[in-house]
Copies of this chain bind each other. A is one copy, B any other.
């Protein structure tokens, strides 16, 4: 399979890694990068892209596959900007963390053609670092890559994208944009909120950061604070674009925490811990 001419809009960790991975796997004949000039220059030096343009509208001209590798809200704005410049038959996809709002924007911009022209995607391969300097051809290898078609219709370009993603070593899971966002609120956004809330509690409790008390902790604290170091700008966009689902997930955890608190020292407490352990072991395996 070859995606032939590919445009990658956004040369950060996700876009840069995608360009490197496509190059290494020989899945594109030509890759156009779009970003600030300094990033284009750097991406060319890295052998990630063949040419570049600081204008997204220019960068997509003649390409068969276009990947929007920018934060959710930016990708929606750029989709509107590039739509008139796409080659007929070109497939547009993205790597955003939420899919419902992007799918809605696609329907609005492309109308009856939306399901054929746009296949929203989400590779679950983020890291706490960002930027082209951390890009690696291995980022997507072994990860899950969600594809969320706008309807059930089948299209050859969709199939090509699916096969190319698997050729990068990722595992494709297909679901709807709506269901994707409902799931991610629990499996990704909720874990992030917990880590952030834990950091906030500790920050208020130990106002003096040099407090020697903070030395008294085991490995579990660092583990649970790892996600709290994630990019606030990215999470602001995720939260805004999936607020209702995240609010529901937060209400669930507030309920569970209250149950644990009310069961401290009684028999229910151990039952909670046993059920949690069984589930955690299942996810681990």
Most buried by B among A192, A257, A270: A257
Does chain B have a CB within 8 A of A38? no
Contacts of A247 in B (CB 8 A): 261, 264
Nearest-CB distance from A166 to chain B (Å)? 14
Check A280/B226 contact, CB under 8 A, given A187-B221, A192-B220, A193-B260: yes
Q: Give the interface segment out of A75-83, A154-162, A230-238.
A: A230-238
Q: Is the CB of A214 within 8 A of B196?
A: no
Does chain B have a CB within 8 A of A27? no
Q: Give the interface segment out of A13-21, A85-93, A112-120, A172-180.
A: A172-180
Q: Is the CB of B264 within 8 A of A246?
A: yes
Q: Among B187, B264, B265, B269, point to the contact of A217 (Cβ < 8 A).
A: B187
Nearest-CB distance from A273 to chain B (Å)? 4
Q: Among B198, B206, B209, B283, point to the contact of A225 (Cβ < 8 A).
A: B283
Does chain B have a CB within 8 A of A61? no
Give Cα A257–Cα B251 distance, bound, in whole angstroms: 9
Does chain B have a CB within 8 A of A46? no
Give Cα A280–Cα B200 distance, bound, in whole angstroms: 9
Q: Among B126, B196, B213, point to the contact of A183 (Cβ < 8 A).
A: B213
What is the oligomeric copy number?
Answer: 2
Chain A 139-178 interface 0/1 with B at a Cβ cutoff of 8 Å (1 = within): 0000110100000000000000000000000010101000
Give Cα A187–Cα B215 distance, bound, in whole angstroms: 9
Does chain B have a CB within 8 A of A191? yes
Give Cα A258–Cα B135 distance, bound, in whole angstroms: 36
Contacts of A273 in B (CB 8 A): 196, 230, 232, 235-236
Check A228/B279 contact, CB under 8 A, given A144-B217, A256-B201: yes
Does chain B have a CB within 8 A of A272? yes
Q: Is the CB of B190 within 8 A of A280?
A: no
Give Cα A277–Cα B130 distance, bound, in whole angstroms: 14
Q: Is the CB of A222 within 8 A of B277?
A: no
**Contacts A199-B276, A257-B257 supplied; 6 other A-B pairs, CB < 8 Å:** A124-B217, A124-B218, A195-B276, A201-B252, A224-B224, A230-B273
A-B contacts, 11 of them at CB < 8 A, read A126-B218, A143-B218, A146-B216, A184-B216, A190-B198, A191-B220, A194-B257, A220-B227, A225-B279, A225-B280, A228-B277
